[in-house]
Amino acid sequence: MILFSVAFLPQFVRPEAGPVAAQLVLLGVLFVAVQLTVDLALGVGAGRFARRWGDSRWSRRVDRLCAVAFVALGVRLAAG
């Protein structure tokens, strides 16, 4: 997060528009607010998805498919 702030946010600061520190704080607060909104939406969506598909035959099928894919990748890695 610090690396992002140091590398990305300063390009949006205009020294002629006012105090640089205040602009950086405002940009940081806006970034945190947007990120919090996105993270909350993803969390709520993942929770709903897990409740809907978590205890079903669909879940077992996905688990088996993942197991086959991991075994296939392991065999390929061991072979070559």
Q: What is the pTM of this model?
A: 0.59
What is the chain's mean pLDDT, rounded?
90
Alpha carbons 2 and 12: distance in angstroms, whole number: 16
pLDDT on residue 65: 95
**Alpha carbon 68 to chain centroid distance?**
26
pLDDT on residue 26: 93
